[in-house]
Amino acid sequence: MTLLALLLSYLLGSIPNGLWLCRALWHVDLRQHGSHNIGATNAWRTLGKGPGFLVFFLDMLKGLLAVWLGEMLVGTPLVMILCGVLAIVGHSLSLFLRFHGGKGVATGLGVILMLMPKVTVIVFLVWLLLVLATRYVSLGSIVAAALVPVLALVFGYPALYVAFGVLAAALIIVRHRSNITRLLNGTENRISAGHL
């Protein structure tokens, strides 16, 4: 059952919600617009707030459901965490997109919502405040990801959860390496909701 849970979690994470949904409902391929990313930020920039929120919610749901699958099929914290990690990996290296994909922020939020709800509340608020203050989604995402293991430690979660926080943060920050370069160069795009 463990292998089944892990496989299903990766496949679930691999579902490119932004790409498929925006193609089906708005006849737009996100890979051809804006940052060319399939995630919620590019959906927001390209199509507006509604599509952006919808893609964010569905991507977050992937992480939440992956951890739930681990809990239902096996029930151990280790498998739940591994299922969450594989959902993030699936989103970033999607089987359906020749191992390309998004940056894993929304999916990662769904994972920590299931594993560490108290951490999730603070991380989301920090992300939101930073995005509202700077209009840089990438900056909010990088800082929020880095906070996960720190807050897991502060709230006294087991070492396994802290280790997950470190791994998840590393995955998300590595996926933002081009954004970090643009932030340092002052060329990063600020968020604004637009329509084609």
pLDDT in tens, 18-75: 999 999 999 999 999 988 889 898 999 899 899 999 999 999 999 999 999 999 999 9
Instruction: For residue 118, tell me if it sits in a domain.
Output: yes
Q: How confident is the model at residue 99 (pLDDT cuts 50, 70, 90)?
A: very high
Amino acid letter at 135? R
DSSP state of 95: G
Please give the biggest Cα pair distance in the chain: 48
DSSP state of 33: S
pLDDT of 195 higher than 60: no
Instruction: For residue 195, tell me if it sits in a domain.
Output: no
Q: Cα dihedral angle (77, 115, 19, 2), rounded to 10 degrees?
A: 10
pLDDT of 196 higher than 70: no
The values of phi and psi at residue 100, to 5°, are: -115, 175
pTM for the whole thing? 0.92
Rounded CA-CA distance 111/88 in Å is 8
Instruction: For residue 191, tell me if it sits in a domain.
Output: no
Instruction: For residue 63, tell me if it sits in a domain.
Output: yes
Q: Which domain holds residue 39?
A: 1-185
Instruction: For residue 29, tell me if it sits in a domain.
Output: yes
- pLDDT value, residue 145: 95
Instruction: For residue 194, tell me if it sits in a domain.
Output: no
Instruction: For residue 192, tell me if it sits in a domain.
Output: no
- pLDDT value, residue 193: 64
Per-residue pLDDT tens over the stretch 120-156: 999 999 999 999 999 999 999 999 999 999 999 999 9
Q: How many domains does the chain have?
A: 1
- pLDDT value, residue 133: 94
Instruction: For residue 96, tell me if it sits in a domain.
Output: yes
